[in-house]
Structure 1
Amino acid sequence: MLTRFALRPGRPALRTSFSRGLAAASADESTGRRWAEPLSNATAKLVKRKVAIVSGYMGTGYHGLQLNDNVETIEDEIRRAIFKAGAMRESNFEDLGKIDWARSSRTDKGVHAGCIVFSGKLLIDEESKVDPVSGRVQGLTEALNASLPDNIRVFSCTRVNKRFSARKNCVLREYEYFMPLSFLKDSIIGSNGADFDTDEAVAEFCRALRRYEGVHDFHNFTRSRS
């Protein structure tokens, strides 16, 4: 799944340093603890600024993207990494609405994402810098990846306008679906498989797929709303 839209840097802030977050994450790995100490009590003054996080992940082993009690999700891993990096207060950990959290799309159990965007108000050190041209928050990407598993990666963290929303500002969502040929075989030939024609099965399937090409109203496939 891919999402696309233009990111425009917000008002320039000073460079963000997450060296303490990296140190905390490293200590967490070496001691085997699940949590590092939050960095909200650092001596530097931290303020909330809207940041867009561009990420990608392999969804195998996760119960989808969105936070869900008692199961492992992608968003839970990212939330923990943000907390370990010192970019989120403990008081906001259980309620991401407090930081205006949004995601450009959602994926179900086992689904992968090549590019997906999150946005939220993260704690940034006013003594540090954001790149004045790109808006990139230097050091935050590395700090998050230090605490994330290898199957979840952050590609960039960009300071954006306070009105930016990863969901509302997304202009394109692109999905790719893969189906093993064996699925077609089972549905067509039943149990014996003696008369199975691979070429004809594929051709018939492609004819069905062409019915979905173009622009269509899929309202009837969505959840009804009052």
Structure 2
Amino acid sequence: MDDQDIFSKRGSYRQEIIKNENDKKYFNKVTNNINENENENEEKIKRFKQDNKIKTNEMRKIHMNDLNEYYQKYKEEIDLKLKINKKKLSVAMVFGYDGTGYYGLGYQVDIKYPSIENLIEKVLFRCGHILPSNVGELKRLKWSHSSRTDKGVHSLATVISCFLVVDDNTFKNDINQTFIDTINNYLPSSIRLFSACKVSRSFQARKKGIERSYNYMVPSEYLNNIKIDEMNKILQNFIGINSYHNFTSKRNTYLSNNNNKNHEKDEKDEEDGDEEEEEDDEVEVENSNNNNSNYRLNEKLLFRNNSTNIRNIKSFYVENEIIEIKGKGWYKFVIIGESFILYQIRRMVGFFLSIVKGYSTVEALELSLKSPFSICVPTAPPFPLYLFNVKFDPNSNVEKLFSNPEPIQFKQFNFLQSQLIPRFNEIEFQTNQFKEFFNYLENSHNFNLDDIDQLRILNQQYQTEKEERKKQNELLLLKEKQETIVEIGNERIEKLKKKEIKIN
């Protein structure tokens, strides 16, 4: 390999640059030829899209330059390893990390915001497991993560699956310790590769994970004199299948008055997910004190159950024993679900804390989960949240890694005790995030529930209308089924008649 830019011959990269340049020209043309009579809002949207395309293109160039400089710095080392690594395999890797100082797990094109996946990619590249022709474009590697954590959130069990190039001896057995140790050599101590295994070519960590478990730590001083049973009784309200439209960023919850099509967006990664902000084409229903009644009626009318907001919480409880960390007590909350969306867990904890401290009520929680109305849910601090476990199909190689107590569980426990547990005390001592959170609840937070009496009535109407729609749909389905049966019966009779005619 020569010293030229490693991306210069990459077709998809050239096409992307051309596409972005064409988009820039198009948006320039559109913006410069706006009809004066056009809606001012449309003009703003077009200009925003234009600026966003230009910004993304510039970030992409800077990102590629950064990777190219990294390659030139370690060129001899990478090229030497690539002479040995010739075999392409689908691999699943289990990582743990301290998310402090990182802008979440998810890959970032903007290098101003360092993420954990960016660092892992560079290390895999340096170890000769990613070809120069593939670095910088994770989709080329079929990269997939089991759970996406937000800024400042940690993990003990993130699974990343992708195609890597390895030598003939790597993964000859189920687990290759040399592969693990070499990668950990280049990673900082705050990020550890616990285990890795070969998986089928079709395996994708995001899609194959069937259950995620998170733990959230809360200083016990803020929950003094509150019984465990009382706390768990409140937490039970979250269990089951609900719409978490009030517990995440905007996700097309309300339809436009002018467009009643039920547009669905693809599901993003989860939690504290999932997860990058989505471009939202919904119309925000404005809350006006002078027109509050119409505002809530509009919400009832325009609400839709967006499937991306509907999540199944299997378990949510607080453990009985207080964990002591350097003389400070912490309660551990356990949240288990199939998957989570952006901010969901931290807002679930935030709402719970607001109820248990008397700033809100269980009725308000029920309305936030069971009604079509917008309620402002407080977001608890990110730093004491960590992914504890991910479950996969019992027969998969990845699930066997988690179920085998040696070596992964021992490594996870050591990382939790040495890296994460001390971090909780340290961050709370330095930043007082919980103190600020409770001050905010007491003095500033507005749940948007001044009209709760009206919401009770409107929600009863909504639930009645919902049941009526359900019955009507069931009747329609039954009618269609009966008509289909009759139609099939008539077709058979006709066939029998034709058969008889032929025989005669």
Settle same-fold status: TM greater than 0.5: yes
Return 5+ residue gaps in structure 2 as ranges: 1-70, 253-263, 266-504
Within 5 Å, give how 1:187-198 maps onto structure 2. 198=224
Q: Which residue of 2 aligns with 1:140?
A: 179
Tell me how far apart the structure 2 counterparts of residues 108 and 173 of structure 1 sit (CA, whole Å).
15
Q: Which residue of 2 aligns with 1:90?
A: 132
Question: Which of residues 79, 92, 105 in structure 1 aligns to 2:147?
Answer: 105
Tell me how far apart the structure 2 counterparts of residues 155 and 203 of structure 1 sit (CA, whole Å).
36
Tell me how far apart the structure 2 counterparts of residues 206 and 54 of structure 1 sit (CA, whole Å).
31
SS in 2 for 1:216: strand
> How far is 1:35 from its partner?
4.8
Return 5+ residue gaps in structure 1 as ranges: 1-32, 185-197
Tell me how far apart the structure 2 counterparts of residues 178 and 75 of structure 1 sit (CA, whole Å).
25
Q: Which residue of 1 aligns with 2:190?
A: 151
Q: Which residue of 2 aligns with 1:194?
A: none
Q: Which residue of 2 aligns with 1:63?
A: 103
Flag the 1:35–1:171 CA change in 2: closer, same or farther, 3 A: farther
Flag the 1:77–1:166 CA change in 2: closer, same or farther, 3 A: same
What amino acid does structure 2 have at the position aligned with 1:157? Answer: A
TM-score (norm 2): 0.32
1:210 maps onto 2:250 in alignment: no
Tell me how far apart the structure 2 counterparts of residues 121 and 107 of structure 1 sit (CA, whole Å).
22
1:199 maps onto 2:237 in alignment: no
Corresponding residue pairs, total: 177
Residues 84-116 of structure 1 show CA distances to partners (whole Å, capped at 9, x for unaligned) of 110001221111100100000100111110111
Tell me how far apart the structure 1 counterparts of residues 226 and 94 of structure 2 sit (CA, whole Å).
42
Does structure 1 conserve the Cα–Cα contact (< 8 Å) formed by 2:92 and 2:198? yes
1:51 maps onto 2:77 in alignment: no
Does structure 2 conserve the Cα–Cα contact (< 8 Å) formed by 1:105 and 1:167? yes
Does structure 2 conserve the Cα–Cα contact (< 8 Å) formed by 1:85 and 1:140? no
1:75 maps onto 2:100 in alignment: no
Question: Which of residues 150, 166, 172 in structure 1 aligns to 2:211?
Answer: 172
Tell me how far apart the structure 2 counterparts of residues 156 and 201 of structure 1 sit (CA, whole Å).
40
Does structure 2 conserve the Cα–Cα contact (< 8 Å) formed by 1:40 and 1:88? no
Q: Which of the two has greater helix per residue? A: 2
Tell me how far apart the structure 2 counterparts of residues 57 and 45 of structure 1 sit (CA, whole Å).
27
Tell me how far apart the structure 2 counterparts of residues 93 and 147 of structure 1 sit (CA, whole Å).
17
Percent of residue pairs identical: 33
RMSD across aligned C-alpha pairs, in angstroms?
Answer: 2.6
> How far is 1:43 from its partner?
3.1
Larger radius of gyration: 2
> How far is 1:143 from its partner?
1.5
Q: Which residue of 2 aligns with 1:8?
A: none
Does structure 1 conserve the Cα–Cα contact (< 8 Å) formed by 2:85 and 2:129? no
